[in-house]
Amino acid sequence: MPKLVQKLKLTTIRNLVLTLCFVIISGYAGYFLGVHQIKTWNDLLPVLKNETKGNIAQEQTINRSQPSNKNVDMSLFWQVWDKVEANYLFQDKIDYQKMVNGAAEGMVKALGDPYTAFFPPTENKTSKENLNGSFFGVGIQLGYKKDQLAVIAPLSGMPAEKLGVKAGDYILHIKDSQKGIDEDAYNLNLQDALEKIRGEKGTSVTLTLLHEGDSKSYEVTIVREEIIVPSVEVDFGQYINGQYTKEATGSGKLVAHLKLSRFGELTASQWDEAIEKILAKQKDLGGVVLDLRNNPGGYMNEAVNLSAEFLPLGKVVVKQENANTPDQIFKTSRVGRLLDMPLVVLVNAGSASASEILAGALRDNGRAKIVGTTSFGKGTIQSAEDLENGAGVHITIARWLTPNGEWVHDKGLEPDVKVDLDPNNPTVDTQLNKATEMALQ
C-alpha cells in the first residue's frame, strides 16, 4: 500500500476513534474526576455576559480573577486577550465565545493526550448523535470522493434513498431557506456539511447532486426525519465453496454473522433483538461470528454487559487502573444466552476501545479465537461531561487491561489468525470467510 494512502487511512481511523470512542465509567469515580475538574477549569476561563448598548449587542467579561486555590498565573492569557481586543485589524470578525472555546481547546491539548479533548457545542452535539445513532436528517453517510463531498451510502428506507439519492452521488450545493443556507459544497469540511444537512424534524433541505458518470446535475428537496442508524445487525449464511454465503439454502449448518458497529445508548435493545433472531434459528446454527471490525468503541458498561452473552457468570471482563481511586475489576453479572455456541471474533485496525475490551475478554477467557488484523490499540478510559453552554470535555481518567493483564494501548490486540483483505478483490471478504470456516469446526 502506498505510504500516502496508508497514512490517510490511519488518519481516518484515528479521527473516527477520537470522535466516537469515549468510554464512560459509572459510579462516583466517574462523577468526581469528570465534573469536579471541569468546574475548576471553568473558573480559569472568562465568563461572557451579553449586554446591549443602543442597538449594538456587546459581550462583557465578568470574571478575570484567578481561583485562590490554584497556583497559576493567568496574566499571560489576559495580556494576549487584551492585545487582540485592542489591536486586531478585523474587529468585526472577533468572536469572543470562539476565543474562549479556543482557549479551552488549547488547555486540554497542552496535556499531550489525544483522547482528552474539548468539544465546542456543535461538535459535542454531533459527537453524541453519532455515538447514539439517532438524529434528525435525510439519511445519508457523508464522505469524500476525489476531494469532493459525496454520498458514501444512502441509509435503507430513509428519506434520501426514497427520493433516488444513490451511493457515489457528488453533493454540489446545499440550500435551506429556514437556516439561511445557500452555498456550494466544494470547500465544506465534513463537520460543516453535517451541520447544514441535519436539522429539525419536518424541515427540508435541497441538495444539488450529480450521479457519478453523468454530466447533468439534479436537485432533490428532502424532508428531514429522525434517523436511527442500527448499531447491531445480524444475518445468516452458510460456508459454501470457501465463502460465507448469505441466505444460502443448502443443507449445511448456518452461521450467524453478528455485526456490532458501536457501543451506544440504543445498543442493548438492538442487541437483544439480534440475539432473539439467533435463538430462533438455534437448532440449525453451527456458530456465531461476532464482527467488531471498524467498531470505534463507546460505552464501557455496554462492552461488559454484552460479554456476558458468551461468558459464564462471574468471569472477569476488564480491569481498570485509576489515578486517584482504588482499581476496579468488572465481571459478568448476568446469565448469557449463547454460552455454548461456537464463537469467532473479527477485528481490524478500526476496532478500538470498547470493542477491544470485548474481544480481549472473550479471548483471555478462552471463549473465542480472534481473526483479522491487529486492532487499533486504545487502552484508556475517558469521562465525558457536558459543560454549561452545550460544550463538552472528555478527560482520560484511567487505563484498562484485559483479564490477563495486557495493556493494548498503542499496540492493539494481535489476532490468533491473521487474515488480510485482498485489495485486488474487494468484493471477497476473506476475513469473514475464514471466521465462518473456524466457527463451524
Distance in angstroms (rounded) separating the CA atoms of residues 221 and 205: 6
User: Which class for 372: exposed (0-12), middle (13-18), buried (19 or more C-beta within 10 A)?
Assistant: buried
For residue 331, give the C-alpha cell.
Answer: 465481571
Distance in angstroms (rounded) separating the CA atoms of residues 393 and 41: 11
Letter string b/e over residues 133-146, b meaning 16 or more CB atoms within 10 A of that residue's CB: bebebbbbebeeee
For residue 322, give the C-alpha cell.
Answer: 485509576
User: What's the DSSP call for residue 173?
Assistant: E
Which secondary-structure segment (H or E) carries 78?
helix 75-87
Q: Nearest 5°: phi and psi at 213?
A: 95, -15
Hey, CA dihedral for 74, 77, 79, 81, is it positive or negative? Answer: negative
Helices (H), 93-225: 96-109, 121-132, 159-162, 190-197
For residue 272, give the C-alpha cell.
Answer: 437483544
Residues serving a catalytic function are 353, 364, 378
Quote the strand ranges of 348-391, DSSP E: 369-372, 380-386
Amino acid residing at 399:
R
Give yes or no for a contact between 363 and 369, defined as CB atoms under 8 angstroms apart. Answer: yes
